[in-house]
Amino acid sequence: MKFTIAVHGAPYASLANERALKFCSAVLAAGHDIVRVFFYHEGVLAALDSTVAPQDEIDITREWQKFALQQNTELAVCIANGLKRGLLSTEEQNRYDKTAPTLAAGFELVGLGQLIDGIAAADRYVEFPA
C-alpha cells in the first residue's frame, strides 16, 4: 500500500511531527511505501534550519532529515506557507534578496500540486493536524 502523509502541526507546539514520523516508520516497517511527506500550514516549520531544539526534546528537523536519507523519502514543504514563515531555499533567498537561505537540507519547497499528485498516487492519505 502507498501512503501520502501531510503534517500540519508546528513542531514543539503540537505532537503532529513526532506522531507523523513514528507513523511513517511504522508504515515502512510493515512493508508499505510512502509517496511523500508534505508539510503544510504550521507544519512547514519542521523544515526551518535555524531552529534549535530544547535539550530535553528531540530535534525534529534532524530526525526528519535522517529518516528521509535512510528511507529515500521526499520531504515536500508548501512554498506559500513556507515563504510567509521565513523558509527560503537558496533560489528563493536570491529572488527576494534576503541575506541567507533558511530551508534545512533534505527538504524541498514545492507547490500545492505536489500534495494533490501525492494523494492521487497513494492508496491512503493521512493527515497529522495541529
Structural domain spans, the chain? 2-128
Q: What does DSSP assign to residue 123?
A: S
Phi, psi of 113 (to 5 degrees): -60, -30
Given this model, what pLDDT does residue 54 score? 86
Q: Strand, coil or helix: what is 73?
A: coil
Given this model, what pLDDT does residue 35 score? 97
Could you tell me which residues come within 8 angstroms of residue 30 by beta carbon, excluding any fewer than 6 positions away? none
The answer to pTM > 0.85 is yes
Residue pLDDT, tens place only, 54-97: 889 899 999 999 999 999 999 999 999 999 999 999 999 999 99
Taking the C-alpha atoms of residue 62 and residue 27, their distance in angstroms, rounded to an integer, is 20
Query: Is residue 78 annotated as a catalytic residue, yes or no?
Result: yes
Residue of 75, 78, 79, 122 marked catalytic:
78
3, 33 Cβ separation under 8 angstroms? yes
Look over the chain and give the mean of its residue pLDDT values, rounded to a whole number: 96
Superfamily of domain 2-128: DsrEFH-like (3.40.1260.10)
